[in-house]
Amino acid sequence: MRHFVGFFVGLLLAPLVVFGVGWAQPRLAALNGAGGTFAGPAGAVTAGGLCALALVVAVVLVGPRLTPLLPGIAGLTLMAASATAVLRPGLADRVPGWVPGQEGALSLLELGVFLPLAVLLVAPLMVPSRWVREEHGGVSPDEYFDGLYDEDYEDGGAAGAQRRPAV
């Protein structure tokens, strides 16, 4: 079930990344053209949005309990979108005009800006340990406490007996 959910969430993550960065690109260009910094309100909102997007991508990328399909499908979708923007640029005209960040996203897709991120997102697909979930990973509490203390210490020992360190 986790692979099924991860597949569809991965399909949603790729457009979120593309249009999130596409939303920030014209704002950063305008900020740079006006000689502004991130200290102003517009720069802080843009930087905050990019940081939130980066945090989502980082959690998806390194989460050990998540299925590798989630970042893998997002990465493959980013690769396909970049290839489509380069090979068939006429298809970009079919994207609805109400999508926020459309202009910035399409220009960044044509430049191949998302390809390094796509390669990073596809990498968890190649790690075999990410495909198997351990049901009973680790040591049980009884096994953990075995050998932690000396038997004499657990029994209470003699009144004046000194505690020996466990070997």
165 in a domain, yes or no? no
Residue pair 63/2 in contact (Cβ under 8 Å)? The answer is: no
151 in a domain, yes or no? no
CA distance 72 to 69: 5
Alpha-carbon dihedral angle through residues 82, 84, 90, 93, given to the nearest 10 degrees: -60
The residue that leads in pLDDT, 96 or 137, is: 96
Domain span holding position 51:
2-137
112 in a domain, yes or no? yes
167 in a domain, yes or no? no
106 in a domain, yes or no? yes
Number of domain units in the chain: 1
Confidence of residue 108 (pLDDT cuts 50, 70, 90): confident
How confident is the model at residue 129, as a pLDDT? Answer: 74
Nearest to 18 by CA among 61, 60, 80: 80
Q: How many CB atoms lie within 10 A of CB 6?
A: 21
